[in-house]
Structure 1
Amino acid sequence: MYAMSLAQIGYFVNIRELARASGVSTATVSRALNDRAEVSEATRERIRRLATELGYAPNEPARTLVRRRSDTIGLIWDSGQEARGQHNPFLLGLLSAVRTALSEADYHLMLLTTPAAEEADGSYLQAVRRHNLEGVIVLTTPPDDRCLRVLAASNVPCAGIDTGFTGPRTVRVSSDNAAGAEAAVDHLYGLGHRRIATVTGPLHLPPAAERLAGYRRACERLGLAVPPEYVTEGDFFLASGETAARKLLDLAQPPTAIFAAGDQMAIGAMHVAADAGLSVPRDLAVVGFDDIDASALVRPSLTTVAQDQRALGEAAVTALRGLLDAGPGKTKLEAEPRIIPTRLLVRGSSRPRA
């Protein structure tokens, strides 16, 4: 009853108190909780049972000092978009997937926000050292970020999702962006479309550049002409999709189909088509990329290239653990990129032309 009451009121014993309650040394308690062979099974089970009943909580700072490990991974992403009031549902879903994968691998997560422009170039690296982080996962931060370049050039293990940075202990994880874009164009071609335009993301970002490359490759393979005005750059957000679609639909020979490199831009294109009195998909077919939740909710529902967020998160954590296990001798050549397949989800925004 006494032991249960301690746990119920939120009192957590330390290792010395647990050792006294167990009638053994603190060293024996430590060995038992860490599954060391020197402790008998009966003693191990008794100590674990008491640890649960008494609400034992390990002293994490002390464990970190002794083991020289924090079991904590830093995560960097471009928080500037959120500060500007722009919300990227795909990135939020990816953040959740990474957090889940880290938790399943028994790692803690620490969010490292984008430094202000006036901060020192090495602020990411300083944060890693200050908090004794094991490594870092980077989510789609621009490759020209000075602080990120300093971090990548260090010996800190880094896994980047859809990033273009390189360093002695970095590895890249990405969806197969080019193949996904090719599948979108092939789908529209198969529906009878020959005037297929694209709205890209910011072309300094690897995913946007790769999706444009896939679009061009498919058009070349299929013998489709791509006038310069059929390629319009957006920023992955809805308003840029609306702006791009207005330009495309005002052309003397407007496209009959638009492949947008992000779902929000595709939905923006559908808004403009509706405002112009055009029917989607009868007058204009639209395909997006990402498969955010809204893509299935708009009407007509959006055909899109789906990325596997959970697989991306798991691959990033697995790749980072590989760098950690290999130690400082890991080279860039050994840390091969991890490419995750995409799949085309055909919905109402594209169908055979009448």
Structure 2
Amino acid sequence: MTTIYDIAKRAGVSPTTVSKVLNGYPDVSLKTRGKVQRIMSELGYQPSAAARSLATNRSMTVGVFFQDHVNSGLRHPFLHDVLASFKDVVGGKGYDLLLFSDAERENFPSGFEARAKHRDVDGLLLVGVPRTDPGLVALARSRIPVVSIDLDLIGSRASYLMSDNLGGTRAAMSFLLNNGHRKIAFIGDRLGTKPGHDRMLGYQQSLQELDLPFRSEWMLDGDFTEVSGYEAMKKLLQVSELPTAVFCASDMMAIGAFRALQEVGKKPGQDISVMGFDDIELARYVTPSLTTVRQNKEEMGRLAAFELLELMAREDKPPTVITVDTEIVVRESVCSIS
């Protein structure tokens, strides 16, 4: 197999010069560039990633750590849409994605920093990683460029990005109030994730700001899964005073709440209004179609990619906190009451 060292020897130049030609660097004369390209063509040389990275000292690879709190893997619509737009941007700049496994293996390094260095990635994207992960401390202190989504990781080379969870929740609560609802329950993850915490905080702030009644039995725990929404709604249906509306901190929990209501003969959007957060594809197809808070997932992936590319390109780039706007999507699951 022909290597860049074979090309360099035949052309009478250094391997670094050959790599510069491969990467389009301007500091190679036209004569030398033409000679190297001619020899590569004659030998049918196909450059490897290692050859391309020799001059740049980069692997042209971005590592992705994803921990799935809803146990649906890459099929989850939120992750799929974010990663698709992220991949389009970094791929356009010549980078490949390396998806790290969750499994710990013998004789392999553990922790985000060690695994990133072992695979020689140029930067990292973190999605769905809990704040409690012990490996985050070392990563935040490292010099590895990192962008995290829905995780407030703070470090000298670590930026993070998330939707406006507080603002989106407060907008949802105002929307429910404007439709006549004053008795509003909450189903969500209160402390486990940054988005869950912020959506719970937005709910509590709205109760105070809008002068709405608080009932401890109207605050129920869920972990973003359909099952948890189903179980939470079953508990809610057992309390002495029912709310007229339920705000769920994810669409999957709202869909689970639909099922619990339907099992006891109650109609979502008529007997009890239900609102979600995310605007996954399924939200428009369930019955009734789900009124929700839309996250701009494609924009999140795109902005995360641009931020990571800049962190990788500039050692002096300060970390950034990026907030992406949300919007209310009105469908059929919220009714107006007098």
Q: CA shift at 1:128, angstroms?
A: 1.4
Residue-by-residue CA offset, 1:200-232 (whole Å, 9 max, x unaligned): 125220000011111122221111012111111
Which of the residues 74, 82, 86 maps onto 1:94?
82
Using a 3 Å threshold, how does the CA distance of structure 1 residues 262 and 118 change in structure 2: closer, same or farther? farther
Secondary structure at the residue paired with 2:135? helix
The gaps in structure 1 that reach 5 residues or longer are: 1-11
Partner of 1:8: none
Using a 3 Å threshold, how does the CA distance of structure 1 residues 352 and 269 change in structure 2: closer, same or farther? same
Which of the residues 128, 150, 153 maps onto 1:165?
153
Asked if 1:68 is matched to 2:57, the reply is yes
Asked if 1:185 is matched to 2:169, the reply is no
Deviates more, 1:114-123 or 1:235-244: 114-123
Asked if 1:36 is matched to 2:20, the reply is no
Counterpart mapping for 1:35-184 below 5 A: 35-36=25-26, 38-40=28-30, 56-79=45-68, 82=71, 88-116=76-104, 122-184=110-172
Name the % identity.
32
Contact 2:21 / 2:33 at 8 angstroms: preserved in 1? Answer: yes
Residue-by-residue CA offset, 1:57-114 (whole Å, 9 max, x unaligned): 312223334432111111101157548x896432233233322232123211111122
Measured in 2, the distance between the counterparts of 1:269 and 1:80 equals: 19
Secondary structure at the residue paired with 1:97? helix
Asked if 1:311 is matched to 2:299, the reply is yes
Secondary structure at the residue paired with 2:65? strand
Measured in 2, the distance between the counterparts of 1:277 and 1:107 equals: 53
Measured in 2, the distance between the counterparts of 1:138 and 1:215 equals: 27
Using a 3 Å threshold, how does the CA distance of structure 1 residues 285 and 45 change in structure 2: closer, same or farther? farther
Residue-by-residue CA offset, 1:23-44 (whole Å, 9 max, x unaligned): 996877655540526544x997
Using a 3 Å threshold, how does the CA distance of structure 1 residues 86 and 320 change in structure 2: closer, same or farther? closer
Partner of 2:331: 347
Q: CA shift at 1:169, angstroms?
A: 1.5
Measured in 2, the distance between the counterparts of 1:29 and 1:121 equals: 34
Q: CA shift at 1:299, angstroms?
A: 0.9
Measured in 1, the distance between the counterparts of 2:130 and 2:213 equals: 31
Amino acid at match of 1:69: R
Measured in 2, the distance between the counterparts of 1:173 and 1:305 equals: 17
Q: TM-score, normalised by structure 2?
A: 0.87
Partner of 1:211: 199
Asked if 1:194 is matched to 2:182, the reply is yes
Contact 1:258 / 1:284 at 8 angstroms: preserved in 2? Answer: yes
Using a 3 Å threshold, how does the CA distance of structure 1 residues 80 and 288 change in structure 2: closer, same or farther? closer
Asked if 1:337 is matched to 2:321, the reply is yes
Contact 2:60 / 2:122 at 8 angstroms: preserved in 1? Answer: yes
Residue-by-residue CA offset, 1:267-287 (whole Å, 9 max, x unaligned): 111111111211221211111
Measured in 2, the distance between the counterparts of 1:92 and 1:100 equals: 12
Measured in 2, the distance between the counterparts of 1:16 and 1:39 equals: 19
Using a 3 Å threshold, how does the CA distance of structure 1 residues 120 and 244 change in structure 2: closer, same or farther? farther
Partner of 1:9: none
Measured in 2, the distance between the counterparts of 1:134 and 1:86 equals: 23
Which of the residues 211, 219, 242 maps onto 1:223?
211
Partner of 2:244: 256
Using a 3 Å threshold, how does the CA distance of structure 1 residues 215 and 80 change in structure 2: closer, same or farther? closer
Measured in 2, the distance between the counterparts of 1:250 and 1:52 equals: 76
Q: CA shift at 1:259, angstroms?
A: 0.6
Aligned length: 336
Residue-by-residue CA offset, 1:283-340 (whole Å, 9 max, x unaligned): 111110111111111011101111111111111122222322331x55xxx3220001
Amino acid at match of 1:302: L
Q: TM-score, normalised by structure 1?
A: 0.83
Using a 3 Å threshold, how does the CA distance of structure 1 residues 201 and 80 change in structure 2: closer, same or farther? closer
Contact 2:104 / 2:110 at 8 angstroms: preserved in 1? Answer: no
Q: CA shift at 1:48, angstroms?
A: 7.3
Using a 3 Å threshold, how does the CA distance of structure 1 residues 53 and 174 change in structure 2: closer, same or farther? farther
Using a 3 Å threshold, how does the CA distance of structure 1 residues 26 and 86 change in structure 2: closer, same or farther? closer
Amino acid at match of 1:295: A
Partner of 1:297: 285
Contact 2:19 / 2:51 at 8 angstroms: preserved in 1? Answer: no
